[in-house]
Structure 1
């Protein structure tokens, strides 16, 4: 009985720490601004509306189907999920530094708190936006729900992996935050939000394939367009990256996070 209690107590302490950090971030991130969680929904809705409005003047129809909002939403929402989850996790130690001085709270608690909160938020936004598009435009998409769920999980895990490594790099090297911000600016353009991978000239596809985010957007589009087969998507490549980046990030943080929180 005592042995079981000893095993359960640290586990309960970890859950309690994660929940406390999640509640803190909810209040600090969404509780202080007018509208709160409403802004998490308005941002993608506004971006998709603008993209649809602008490109509808240039093209009669998108590269897939006939609905511009659905075409852009299937790529923009996964991109935004990856970008937001990875960025939030990258700032986990900086955001929770004062709490990490307590022995009961670890850097893993801080990372998981941000991962769970932001993943749940983006899944909620994804559901509302996609449901809204289908209801508003009376769409009858043949959705592969299993593939859609896999795409969401893989996107969240890739955001976790990149964010974990950047959590070390952001805290250790201040200049890396500026470098990463510069690197991410063209990512929106080359991640398949505006176009399909197959539309790119063949000489550029070989380079574009190494962008993991275009695999995520292609996977999501395959889930919503029954006639689209994104055969370039490689889950093996994605999960190799997820495993490698997250392992490296955890090793670096495990060795030096106590020094990082005192910087």
Structure 2
């Protein structure tokens, strides 16, 4: 994450908002990469730790939740380091609206946990889902608005992109750092509904196919 921020900063581009290129790109990269890492490793957790499922005391949700916790902790550490680096280089990494920034970050975690749960369960029956999800993550990264301002696009394109909940998370995070940033694409209810919806669907699938998952 730090390397990506450094690359975009060295490129010398003027940030669309604010005076700090590293801060602008960080507000996009933090939610995007947090989602990607948590959901990706949750999706791989059951396949990578299949042997653990041989023990009756170990549940599939234990494996996925444990992996999610590790990635969340790693993400928080990375976020802290980035803020310290920005602060150490004379920039202000503190959001204008701290509560909104925290809400956006926690919503990213919910979204990632939900998608990761669903992908992790599907992978046990359909291994090709690993490749499909990797490609999907690349597409989500490109279209997330990390490197551009989605709300500045023509409305017909901006609102299509907003169906991607990750776009809304990036926009949500940036509204917490820039007072003049438009929140027209931000719908917290949509992001949380998507996250909890995928989580519920993943839990239902896991419940109905729990025994078969252990036998595969």
Please give the range of the TM-score, normalised by the shorter of the 2 chains: over 0.9
Task: Indicate the residue corresponding to 1:84 in structure 2.
Answer: 37
Could you tell me how far apart the structure 2 residues matched to 1:168 and 1:78 are? 24
2:75 to 100, 122, 147: 122
Aligned to 1:194: 147
Indicate how the Cα distance of structure 1 residues 142 and 73 shifts in structure 2: closer, same or farther if over 3 A, else same.
Answer: closer
TM value normalised by structure 2? 0.93
Q: CA deviation at 1:142?
A: 4.8
Residues 182-261 of structure 1: matches in 2 within 5 Å? 182-261=135-214
1:166 pairs with 2:123: no
Q: Deviations over 1:3-57 (max 9, x none)?
A: xxxxxxxxxxxxxxxxxxxxxxxxxxxxxxxxxxxxxxxxx11111012222x1x
Unpaired segments ≥5 residues, structure 2: none
**Following the alignment from structure 2 to structure 1, what is the Cα–Cα distance between the partners of residues 88 and 96?**
14
Quote the residue 2:88 is aligned against. 135
Structure-1-length-normalised TM-score: 0.78
- Whether contact under 8 Å (2:159, 2:185) holds in the other structure is no
What is the DSSP-based 3-state SS (H/G/I as helix, E as strand, rest coil) of the residue aligned with 1:253? helix
Match of 2:5 in 1: 48
Distance 1:109 1:95 in 2: 14
- Range that drifts further, 139-148 or 252-261: 139-148
Superposed CA deviations along residues 90-124 of structure 1, whole A, max 9, x for unmatched, are 11211222112212111111111111111111011
Larger Rg: 1
The CA RMSD measured in Å over matched residues stands at 1.6
User: Which secondary structure does the structure 2 equivalent of 1:185 belong to?
Assistant: helix
Q: 1:225 to 1:131 in 2, by over 3 A?
A: farther
Q: Is the 8 A contact 1:141 1:225 kept in 2?
A: no
Unaligned runs of 5+ in 1: 1-43
